[in-house]
Amino acid sequence: MDLITIRELEVHFHVGVPDEERVRAQRLLIDVEMEADFSAAAAGDDLGRTIDYYAVSRRILRLGEGRSWRLIETLAAELAGLVVAEFGASRATVEVKKFILPEARHVSVRTTRARGG
């Protein structure tokens, strides 16, 4: 398997367990790892035979429009499933970083989804 990675895509989504935390969008950083066989794309220099990481990034940025989540676990699972279902990754791993604890650099959740599983 080959791997395409998007590191620290900055989004501003409404997320948090208390209602008051979800009132304002907060900064999150998202890492996405997308596994697939890219040998045909590389051999033919063909974007259509790989995962278009720009399209993935735009889709993720649009996902938060008019939406909110209580848990970053839910957001991470949704994103990983979306990359598999909509972009054809064999396997997708997503990490969502949230900056909520003043004593910590960040809190994060990492999850993986695979095609057929």
- The reported pTM is 0.94
Work out the pLDDT band at 117, boundaries 50, 70, 90.
low
Q: What is the pLDDT of residues 102-114, one digit of tens each?
A: 999 999 999 999 9
Q: What is the pLDDT of residues 78-94, one digit of tens each?
A: 999 999 999 999 999 99
How many distinct structural domains can be found in the chain? Answer: 1
Which strands form 68-69's sheet, in the order they lie side by side? 68-69, 2-15, 26-36, 91-98, 107-114
pLDDT at 1: 86
Q: What is the mean pLDDT of the chain?
A: 96
* Boundaries of domain holding 98: 2-114
Residue 105 CA, chain-centre distance (Å), reads: 20
Mean local confidence (pLDDT), 56-67? 96
CATH code assigned at 71: 3.30.1130.10
